[in-house]
Copies of this chain bind each other. A is one copy, B any other.
C-alpha cells in the first residue's frame, strides 16, 4: 500500500515530537507500506512569522509574507529527514520549488495547479522517503507561494493524488473526528468514519480538524483520508465516499456531528424598505469589499412596507461591514443598524437527514427546553444551522448532542473526559 502521511504543527512542535512522528513513518514502512511524508511548521512558528510580517507593516506585500512564512516548513522538512536518518531510514527533504509544486500567483492563498510526481517517484524507487514541505509552492513568476492556513493538508492530498496513494493520513493532536468538540462536550464520541460531504460541512461550519479545500480535493480525486493522532498508534477517523462502504451501520445516526463557530457576528438592518433590489443594494457593496455574508434571514414585514434584514459576517469583518452599510443609509433608507459579535453558530450535520424528517424540529425543541432563543435559522440538504447567543455555546451543544442520540455512554473516552 502507498501512503501519504501528513504531520501537523503540534505533531512536529519540538525535536522529541519530530522523532515520534518519524517513528510513525517507520511503523508504516515496517508494515510493508511505501510512504511519502508532508510536514507543517513547528506549532507556533507560523504564528510568530506571520506576526512579524504584520508588525512590519499592515499593508505588507503578500509575496514577501510568503517568503518569510514558508521558512517554517523548510525547517521541519530538514529536521524530519534528519530524524528519519537517525532511525536508520533513507530520506530526503523537498521544498515546494524543488519538486516543484506549481501554484497560481494568488500569494497567501495560492491554489495548487500541478505537482511533478517524477522526482518523488524517483525518490521512492530508490528506497528513500520523500519529506515534503507542506503549505508552500512555486508561483508562475518563480516566487514562493503559500496555500493559506491549513494548506499543508491540501499539499498532502495533492501529493496523494499525483502519487496515486491508497490513503492520506492526517496526523494531528486529536485522534480523529468527533461528534462534537470533546473539550466542550465530555460525551463526544470519536467517529470511525464520516462521509466527505459531512466532513466538508463540519469543516466549513467551524470544525478545525481538516481544512475544507483539502477535503474537496480528496473528494474530487477519490483519496481516502484518515485523521489520526501522532501520539497514539491506533486508527483514527476515515473520511470516505458515501456509498463505498457497505459495512457502514444500517441503523446509522441521522446526525453525524455537531459543529460550532464563534467567529461569526450578527448584523441586523432594521426598517429596510420592503422593495425589490434592496438586498442587492446591501450585499453588493459588501461583496465588493470581500466581506463574506453567511446566514441571511429577512423577517416578514409587519406593515408590508418595511422589513428587518439579519445576516452574519466574520467577526473580523464586523466593523468594516457596519461602516459600509452605514454609508448606504441615505440610499437605502433603513431605520437602524445593529452589530452583535456575541453569537455562536451551531450546525447539526448528517447525510442521514436526506431520508429523515423532523431533524430541525428536534433541534428547536431541544434548544427551547433549555430556554435558548434562536436568532437565525438556516438549513441545507445535510445541515441545520442556528445562531444563538454565545453564552449558550456549551449548553446548546450538550443538549443537542443528547437529543440526537450521539452521547457516548460507556467507553473510555467518556470515562476519561467526563
Identify the A interface with B (CB < 8 A): 15, 18-19, 49, 52-53, 55-57, 60-61, 63-68, 70-72, 74-75, 77-79, 81-83, 85-86, 92-93, 95, 97-98, 142-144
Which residues of B are found within 8 Å of A64, using beta-carbon distances?
78-79, 81-82, 85, 92-93
Complex Cα gap A396–B256 (Å):
80
Contacting pair A60 B82 (CB below 8 A): yes
Contacting pair A67 B53 (CB below 8 A): no
With CB as the reference atom, state the residue of chain B lying closest to A67: B78
Contacting pair B71 A83 (CB below 8 A): no
Shortest CB-to-CB span from A70 to chain B, Å, is 7
With CB as the reference atom, state the residue of chain B lying closest to A61: B85
Contacting pair B56 A86 (CB below 8 A): yes
Shortest CB-to-CB span from A145 to chain B, Å, is 13
Complex Cα gap A86–B65 (Å):
13
Shortest CB-to-CB span from A40 to chain B, Å, is 14
Contacting pair A55 B85 (CB below 8 A): no
Given known A-B contacts A92-B64, A144-B95, A57 and B85 have beta carbons under 8 A apart? yes
Given known A-B contacts A60-B85, A67-B74, A68-B78, A52 and B144 have beta carbons under 8 A apart? no
Contacting pair A78 B98 (CB below 8 A): no
Which residues of B are found within 8 Å of A18, using beta-carbon distances?
56
Contacting pair B68 A79 (CB below 8 A): yes
With CB as the reference atom, state the residue of chain B lying closest to A65: B78
Name the contact of A49 in the complex, choosing from B75, B97, B143 (C-beta under 8 A): B75
Complex Cα gap A81–B93 (Å):
27
Which residues of B are found within 8 Å of A49, using beta-carbon distances?
75
Contacting pair A71 B75 (CB below 8 A): yes
Given known contacts A57-B83, A63-B92, what 18 new A-B pairs fall within 8 Å (CB)?
A: A15-B56, A52-B75, A56-B79, A57-B85, A60-B85, A64-B78, A64-B82, A64-B85, A66-B78, A67-B81, A67-B93, A68-B74, A68-B75, A70-B74, A71-B72, A71-B78, A74-B74, A97-B97
**Most chain B C-beta atoms within 10 Å of own C-beta, residue among A52, A60, A67, A75:** A67
Contacting pair A57 B82 (CB below 8 A): yes
Complex Cα gap A67–B82 (Å):
11
Given known A-B contacts A15-B56, A83-B56, A74 and B71 have beta carbons under 8 A apart? yes
Which residues of B are found within 8 Å of A52, using beta-carbon distances?
15, 75, 79
Contacting pair B57 A86 (CB below 8 A): yes
Complex Cα gap A205–B65 (Å):
41
Which residues of B are found within 8 Å of A61, using beta-carbon distances?
81-82, 85
